[in-house]
Each structure stands twice: as C-alpha cells, then as structure tokens.
Structure 1
C-alpha cells in the first residue's frame, strides 16, 4: 500500500513539473500595469489570491489580504479539511483543493498571487513552483526549512520578477523605523553587539519520537502533509502545531520567533550573511543518573552567537547573541530594577558605543536606555510609515502585487528576508550540530562553525552540511 501511494506521488510530481514547465514556456505572465501603459486601470482592480495552508495563521493571512479591499480569495488548498473549514465558510465562492500541484496545474492562468502558510518543511516546495509560473508570493516565516531553500527563493524572486513578502509583520511596524531613525541620528553610536531572546518553545521539544503510532484522521491526507519529509507513521498531536519541535518539519524556537525579533538588526544595520556561528544547547532529564539529547527533536533551550561582517553602517563585525527556552541576557545597568526588559518574554537589545536601545517582539515599544531618554528624543519622521503599521503588512503586499514588480516597495522582500532566514538557519546548524552524535561522541559541541557563503558550506565541520540542503523524499524534490 505504501509503495503504491509513493508511486502515485512520484507520478503526480513528475506530471506537475512537466505541465508547469510547459505552461511557463507557453505564456508570459504580464503585470497588469504593463497591459495599458501609464494610468492603466485593470479590468479588475483586485488581486486574485490562492492560499496554500489555509487554517490557523493561513486563515488570518487570507482574511487580512481580503480586508485590504483589494484582494479576492479565489482558491483554497489544504491537506487537512478540519483546518480548512473556517476559510471554506468564510470564502464560500473560493474553489477548494487538497493538492497544491493540482490547483496550480488547473488554475494557474486565473491566479495572480499565492499565500503559503503550511509547515516549514514544505514552504519552498509550495512557493517555488508558484514563482516559476510568474505568481507573486507571500510566505509565512521562516521563509524556508533549509539554508539552501532560502537561497533558492531569494534568487527566484529576482529571476521571475515577482513581488515577494515574508510573514514577519513587524518589518512594516513603526517600531523598527523609529529605531532606525535613532541609529541614523547617532544616538547610540556604532552598534557592535545585539541580544535577541524568546520564551518559546511553547510546544514539546527535547523529547524522543513517540513509539505509539496513531490513527490518521480521515480529514487529513498524511502523505501530502509529509511532502518533502521522510515517511513516518502518523503520531498523535503532531498536527496542527507540535511539528515545530521536530527537525524533519520545523525549525524550533529560533525559526519560529527569530524572524520577528532579528528583523530589526537586518533593516537597521544592513546585515546580510553570517561568517561564523557557535551554539550551546540544553539537555533533558532522562533518569536520576543521566541527562540526554534526542537528535530528532529540537532542544528544550539553546543559545547561539552569530558573527556578521562589517556593513556600510557599522565600523566592524557585529555579533548577535540569541537565547530561547526562557533564557535572557543580563539586564542592562541603565534599565530600572522593576522596568520590563523587552516585552517580558521576548525582546531585542542593541548595544552601541554611545548608548543602548531595546524593543519587544516585532520591534514594538522601542525605548532608549535609560528609558527616560525616549521622551527626550522625539525625532522628525525620516522613514515613511506603512499605513496601519504592522497590520498594514498585508495590504502593502497586495498593493505592490497590483502595481507590478519593482513599482512599489514592500517591507520584507526576499532580498531581505532570504538572508535573514539563512542566518537563523545557520544558527540552527550549530544548534543541531551540538547534538549530533558520531561514534559515541558529540564532535560538534563547543565549535565555532566557519561558513563559506559562496560554496554554501561549513568548512570546519562537514557533518552538519547534510542539513544545509536536506535529502527530499522521492517525488518531492525542489526543482529549480
């Protein structure tokens, strides 16, 4: 039975690739603004969107696009009918599919843009074919599961000239723009060190894969949900949320929250690709004599230090210290004993040669330190605010898609969110390498991983390079 399902999946994948290639060769997706020249009003001023993964965050994304007043939610795709139920009710005129390949094959001529919001391990396999068909894409964070995939999508955005946006809405918020204005005004001097932290995970991590398999819910197509991941028997409570703690599907606390917290340093300092990274991880209690680490599962807590090369906005390298699992850096001396650090559970702290500034998740509630300085430095607006702030992240992308590639700015295009995602996934290489067991040893612990950005490989610990570009399940390869 498994072999038959696998053969069908492979045949479906080959047919999809062949059909998509023929379609891409047979017609050109022309941006609407080109059709009639300057001042052209499209026959429809609404962006026709297809959603892949339409439950939970995918549902709220689609609703936010729709509420812009400029989007039509025309197609819905989800492997789990239970998760899709609300979106199906909310958008009754939208046609529903379970297999994204079938949807793109049959409907690509009627779709302008695609919103991707499934598990991390399938982001790239959902987004790239849409981009190859000339569709604008909105992809939830983290952009991809692997470093290689992030590079592929970043390059594809330029190659296929489509409007892209990653779902880290804080990039459109006022907070990051205020902090950028403070930095540009020289209020904290040259930034050399940054701390970012989160109280996540709020799902199980640091546990063994359950031995007890469970019955697959009748509404869930388990094979489609697995997608690129190795075949395993279904386990209880993995879907819809706890997959985040397993390396085959998720990217841990760093992948989940890092994009929201570390976006600000990228925007403010112009950071790109890391040059080296090191990490340490928490272990779990096994019995009274032993503490353990389960390599299939992300660790219960971790810390990482990432080094970024000098940019035109810094005088030298910049180090970002990441902490998760509830670990936080030492409170700055300038912060009052009872003042909230970050937003309590999450935060970011910039340390410069003249001062410090901090904020919470999404760079919200930015403050100079000591916080009394914040009110003293009300600077003129230098960077245009996005209407609606973080909530305007969705309408911004919709309007940019309607305007056409290169005609309207977005806050989190893949040219920014691609390198950001790569940096986070590089830290995950060090985190994952720390728990990699080789001949009863853990040779990846206490190492600084050196990164060759052009070759896309770690040069001093080859064992972790298997995770830069993982092995895809047969029939689910990412085809550039």
Structure 2
C-alpha cells in the first residue's frame, strides 16, 4: 500500500517539484496569470478528502475560473490501492483536465491521497502560468491542523468518508468558513441536527452536493397540483446499488497499518478498533460505523431535490425496514448471522410521513440491491416492467413514473401523454445541470436551495432508515423531542459513542 518502488515519482508528479506540504505565499501577480478573473474575485477553496470521489470532482474545481484551490487535506499520504467502478476513469479524467496523456503512466492501480491531490492542483495551475511552474497548494494530513494554520480560506469542500463529515463541517463553521459537503451531512441523526443548527447560527453558506435543480420534479409537481393522479399515497424509489462489497461481520486478523496512512485520524469520532483494509476507501459506506448505506449514497440525489420541490418539510413519524439475511457454516451446521455492524446487501425501507402543506400523509418506500416494486398494471398492459432504477409516485387516481432521479417522467399508462402538451415531455439528457450553484451563492452571500438549513428532513429520513435496519423493528419517531417513542434502546442509534476528544 506504500508507493510502488518502481514508480517514476518525477513523471508521476509532472511539473510539481515536490509533494511535500507547502504553505508558500504566492504573489498576486502570479495568481492573476492563472486566469482572467482577478484573485480578489476568486473563492479560495480547500479540498478535504483526496480519494476517488475527491479526485474525480477536483477537475471541475480547477477549471472553474471563479475558484482557486489553495490546499488539500487527507489522512492518507499516497497509495495505489484505491478501488473504483472503472480502472482508468479517474486517470483519464485527470489527463483530460491537465492536457497530459502521460499522467499516471507508471502507476500500478488507482492512486489517491494528499500527495496526488497536491500534484494535480499544482500541475494544473502550472500549465496556465507563463513560467510553466506553480507552487501554491498546501497539503495537510490533519484537518484540525489545517484550520489552525491556514487563514483567508473562503470555503472547504468535504469529500471524506461519511463518519467525519459532521466533525469537519462544524470545525469549518466555527472558523467562519463556508462548507460544501458530499452526502450525507452526517451518518447519525443527532449529529445531523447539530450540524444544521450550527449552519443556522453561524450564517456561513453551506451546500449539500446531492441537491440539483430538476425541472422533471417541477413537472411532477404540476401534475400533482392538477390532480392528474389524485391524492398522493406512495413514493417509490429504487436503485441497483450497492455496487461495493457488503459485509456481515467484522474482519478478523491483524493487518499492518500502511505507511503514510494515519489510521487514528481516519477513525475520527469512532471508538478505537484495529485497522483493516476492508473498512477503508469506497467500502467504508457499507459499515454502520463509517457509512450510511446505499440509501445515503444514492437516495440523497433523488430524494433531497424531490423533498424541496414538493415541499416535504416534516420528518417521518415512523419507519420499518427489511434486509437480506445471512447464514454461515460452522462445523457443518448453517447458523444465522446476527449482523449489527454493516448494512445488508439489499433492503426495503418504508417511512410514514405526516401531512405536508398541500400533501396528505403518504408512504415513502426505498429499495436497493436488486429489489424494486413489481410493475403496476399500467406497465404490464404495455408489456413493460419497472426499470432497474426508478421513481414512481402513486396516487388515488393514477401514477407517475420516471428514472431514478425522475428522469423523463411520464403519466401511466403512458398513453395519457398523447393528450398532454409536448412541453410536458422532458428529455433529461438535454437538461443542463448547474453543479456550481454554491460558488455563486458564496459570491452573492445567499444560501442555495441545497443549503444545510433546508436539509433537515432528508437527513432525518436517511438516518432513521439505518436505525430501523439496526433495530429490526418498526420505530416511531417524534421530531419535536428527537426521540424514538416505542423503543428506548433504539434512541442509542440516533447518536454514537464518541472517542475522547471527538465529541460533538
């Protein structure tokens, strides 16, 4: 897991002379040469988390002339053992951004860590600098050291595993720094509530990256408002995820902590446990300690903007779930595996929501891991099945079906669309999505529709799903008291046991 000894480090780093942490002050005349927008009008951003997703999205940051990346942070220095859904996807994206087809030529695997992030940033800015050189991106192992030393940072983009999102976001807000984070805001309900309250009191701009502007949802709402499907009764949302390996029990055996990887820091608020590779990198999201399961991984994308569009502001009042079961062979006997450490390979979760403004009480049902609703008769009569991923709204008089995020929505049976205006047919592939709304928000000083302060319902919903899976029973939730009212023990699942010094 340490850098490959055969790796040509100079070639890997390109024009960056070193990957050692740097806090050099770059003269404004040099920065001005990096783009047409003067430094005073650029947002200075630190990217915290340089794993696969952090690197995948870094190109968009670098290419945005309104943004200047000035620091990176990651508990891992450098390794080539990351996993992804494509062996060369991230590499090719970086090559395209840099205009360098030799990047990672001698890397054996998928590389990541703060050294990679720093080299990426500095090589990108160097290619746009008249001198062909650039050194102005600091690299930190510990985000707490970063906040203590770096001044003049406008925003942080948090791309770490789920269990550290809350700690980093609160630290940033305590320093008056704007926060952009990948989903979820936290993987515990009470943490999420505290982050959101801090966002309200601090006044900084916050943004949950799972939000997106979706004209598809506005069309769905228009059909609801017109009464075309009657009163809403159910929302079904399903994904083929998880794509990562899921676990049924903790790994056994002792593994050596890789050189350059700060395991203690990676654990963050989670109580001490032995290092194992099966906890880290992309598979973290399958563990109750570190992730939020596929509903947190993907459900935010579909449900957060849907909640916003439909005006769903009141949290669920109850939730029930089912997950796949596991048995293992012990001395010739197959025994039930009691799994309270990781999300199941597939599950169904049903939340009951109270009345919401113009909406009556309704159920939300989530499916993953290959589970999905059976095709309604409106699809069967057309010889169709439900897609592998999708969104379906069921009313007292009809149904609406779309892709996972509501793409290309139609009334069912689809023959109804023949009598509807052509303007109601949305080609989702042609819709341009603004993924940098948070940049404009910071510049204008106005919150985005994806602000933390608007994300309480989705955060409660996702985290209550995990509570139901872990408790193994229906749980009733009182949002005003933040209590599970029918199972005292389940209240322990709303928070976590904190490692000393990491309490929130």
**TM-superposed deviation, 1:263:** 2.4
**TM-superposed deviation, 1:388:** 6.8
* Pairing 1:42-441 to 2, within 5 Å after superposition: 44-82=40-78, 83-84=112-113, 85-92=115-122, 93-107=136-150, 109-169=151-211, 171-271=212-312, 272-287=314-329, 289-314=334-359, 316-336=360-380, 339=384, 341-342=386-387, 344=388, 346-374=389-417, 376-378=419-421, 389-390=432-433, 392-393=434-435, 395-406=436-447, 410-434=448-472
Alpha-carbon distance in structure 1 between the residues aligned to 2:334 and 2:423: 61
Regions of 4+ moved over 6 Å:
none
**TM-superposed deviation, 1:399:** 0.8
**TM-superposed deviation, 1:262:** 2.1
Contact in 2 for aligned 1:195/1:320 (Cα 8 Å) = yes
Contact in 2 for aligned 1:173/1:389 (Cα 8 Å) = no
Q: Aligned Cα RMSD in Å?
A: 2.4
Alpha-carbon distance in structure 2 between the residues aligned to 1:251 and 1:320: 18
Alpha-carbon distance in structure 1 between the residues aligned to 2:254 and 2:243: 23
Specify the alignment match of 1:437 in structure 2: none
- With structure 2 as the length reference, what TM-score do the two structures score? 0.77
Contact in 2 for aligned 1:143/1:418 (Cα 8 Å) = no
**TM-superposed deviation, 1:206:** 4.2
Alpha-carbon distance in structure 2 between the residues aligned to 1:417 and 1:364: 22
Q: How many residues align?
A: 413
Computing the radius of gyration from Cα coordinates, the structure with the larger value is 2
Contact in 2 for aligned 1:194/1:350 (Cα 8 Å) = yes
Q: Deviations over 1:297-356 (max 9, x none)?
A: 222222121011101121x211111122211111121125654624x2x22111123321
SS in 1 for 2:277: coil
Alpha-carbon distance in structure 2 between the residues aligned to 1:140 and 1:129: 16
Q: Deviations over 1:408-454 (max 9, x none)?
A: xx2321133232021111111111111xxxxxxxxxx3xx3111112
Gaps of 5+ in 2: 1-36, 79-111, 123-135
Alpha-carbon distance in structure 2 between the residues aligned to 1:156 and 1:305: 30
SS in 1 for 2:185: coil
**TM-superposed deviation, 1:50:** 0.9
Contact in 2 for aligned 1:293/1:299 (Cα 8 Å) = no
Alpha-carbon distance in structure 2 between the residues aligned to 1:217 and 1:245: 22
**TM-superposed deviation, 1:380:** 5.9
Deviates more, 1:159-168 or 1:260-269: 260-269
Specify the alignment match of 2:3 in structure 1: none
Deviates more, 1:114-123 or 1:367-376: 367-376
Contact in 1 for aligned 2:213/2:305 (Cα 8 Å) = no
Contact in 2 for aligned 1:120/1:144 (Cα 8 Å) = yes
Alpha-carbon distance in structure 1 between the residues aligned to 2:326 and 2:248: 8
SS in 1 for 2:198: helix
SS in 2 for 1:102: helix
**TM-superposed deviation, 1:65:** 3.0
Larger RCO: 1 or 2 (CA < 8 Å, sep 6+) = 1
SS in 2 for 1:91: helix
Alpha-carbon distance in structure 1 between the residues aligned to 2:431 and 2:179: 21
SS in 2 for 1:389: coil
Quickly say closer, same or farther: Cα 1:461–1:74, change in 2 above 3 A.
same
Quickly say closer, same or farther: Cα 1:359–1:67, change in 2 above 3 A.
farther
The answer to whether 1:459 aligns with 2:485 is yes
Gaps of 5+ in 1: 1-40, 435-444
